[in-house]
Amino acid sequence: MKNGIIMMCCLLSTMTTKANSFETDTFTTKEGKKLEITFIKHASLMFLYDGHVIQVDPISAYADYTKFPKADIILITHEHYDHLDPKAIAAAEKEGTILVSNPSSYQQLQKGRVMKNGDREQLTPYLFLEAVPAYNTTPGRDKFHPRGRDNGYILTLGGTRIYIAGDTEDIPEMQDLKNIDIAFLPVNQPYTMTVPQAVRAAKWIKPRILYPYHYGETPIRELQQQLKDEPSIDVRIRQLQ
């Protein structure tokens, strides 16, 4: 285990900076290329990898997307207003942008390509993309995110696997996720996970680095405290409110 941790430290060295008032972490992937993650707000993220730009759930209320570099890829997890914003997509895209969404988002956008739960695709030479389930399990919450509708995504960039859970609770499918280097888990009851659910999910997935996101007013430091006895999981809290 100790050797594994040392190896990951070599593979994923990070630092935090401020870019256009958004926090940014920079990594070196397993294949030695630069990966930069910008934490925009809520569930909106931007990845810069080897000269390519990937936007996740861009929302114009959170940022002026005309100020960012144009996106090569845009990923939409589902159709709720805080994840799907045609205005932000229009500001971020350029000729040749690949737009990927779940089926119900595609029905609203009427453009791009669809990936549903279980789909896996070498989307570009640099990105292998997997669409995974994201849904509520607590009785009464399934109205928010019913099973089979929404996506989470696993991105493999330079050999580094990044799990973006989307809006979900601690679903059984998480126990099957393997070799996740970086994970984004939502912690915003009643729509996504409670802190105890997120703790359970983290212990199943065992990411090397865990970012809670979509956390609203949740006392997110409790997640960090409850995972302090899991030395293989580095819980990092970034400004996403």
- Residue 31: CATH number of its domain: 3.60.15.10
Strands 73-76 and 160-164: unpaired
Compute the average pLDDT of residues 168-193: 95
Tens of pLDDT, residues 61-78 = 999 999 999 999 999 999
Q: Could you tell me if residue 240 is inside a domain? A: no
Does residue 25 surpass a pLDDT of 70? Answer: yes
Q: Could you tell me if residue 68 is inside a domain? A: yes
Compute the mean pLDDT over every residue in the chain, rounded to the nearest whole number. Answer: 92
Q: Could you tell me if residue 211 is inside a domain? A: yes
**Which residue from 225, 195, 236, 212 is spatially nearest to 42, judged by alpha carbons?**
212
Q: Could you tell me if residue 230 is inside a domain? A: yes
Confidence of residue 12 (pLDDT cuts 50, 70, 90): low
Q: Could you tell me if residue 7 is inside a domain? A: yes
Does residue 225 surpass a pLDDT of 80? Answer: yes
Compute the average pLDDT of residues 154-178: 97
Q: Could you tell me if residue 241 is inside a domain? A: no
171: containing domain: 2-235
Strands 127-134 and 120-124: antiparallel
| Element holding 19 (H helix, E strand) | strand 16-19
What local confidence, expressed as pLDDT, does residue 20 receive? Answer: 59
Indicate the length of the chain as a whole number: 241
Q: Could you tell me if residue 221 is inside a domain? A: yes
Q: Which two tokens stand for residue 138?
A: 């607590």
Does residue 167 surpass a pLDDT of 70? Answer: yes
Are 36 and 52 spatial neighbours (Cβ–Cβ below 8 Å)? no
Does residue 234 surpass a pLDDT of 60? Answer: yes
Q: Could you tell me if residue 196 is inside a domain? A: yes
Instruction: Report the number of distinct structural domains present in the chain.
Output: 1
